[in-house]
Structure 1
């Protein structure tokens, strides 16, 4: 997920609390250049429009924290975390469309499957 607003971040926090997720990966990293965070699959320019770092984060603790997460222990504020840790994750994509659209002559009919 590319989180670029407080509304989106709060939605994910509510979802994580509801699912009782302990550690959740958010899809950003600074593994390629320490301190330059980027969303996976996007440019540097998109990171930083909105952030929700916990106090004193990111800190690259033990020089081993290159992936973005939030956790129940940190009230779901952003934290850099070791990429090797286990956690849940969010995926962001286009909505899934249900049904099949079939063309018959000049009209379209929707058949719900």
Structure 2
């Protein structure tokens, strides 16, 4: 959401990572957050969680609005099971360690 507490939480940030999912509610909240961050002049990027769920409207929105998609995390039962057991993504799926390093460097470049 984009309520007053959210605005106060992001005010003064160097960068915001918006995490959404490809659902109508996710797209709606993403559009509101993008508008808020642009108004506040805070740079941002998007991570699409459960990316294989739903349709491509979030991807289309990001393309049209020139919003960088930083990472996509697929909708996989194995990930959900590990998460439900409290296993961090990079421990349960070591291939994500490199993906999160890449995410870090993408953000670092966007903050420059």
Structures share fold, TM-score greater than 0.5: no
Q: Which range, TM-score by smaller chain?
A: under 0.3
In proportion to residue count, which structure has more strand?
1
TM-score computed with the length of structure 2 as normaliser: 0.26
Report the structure number with the largest CA radius of gyration: 1
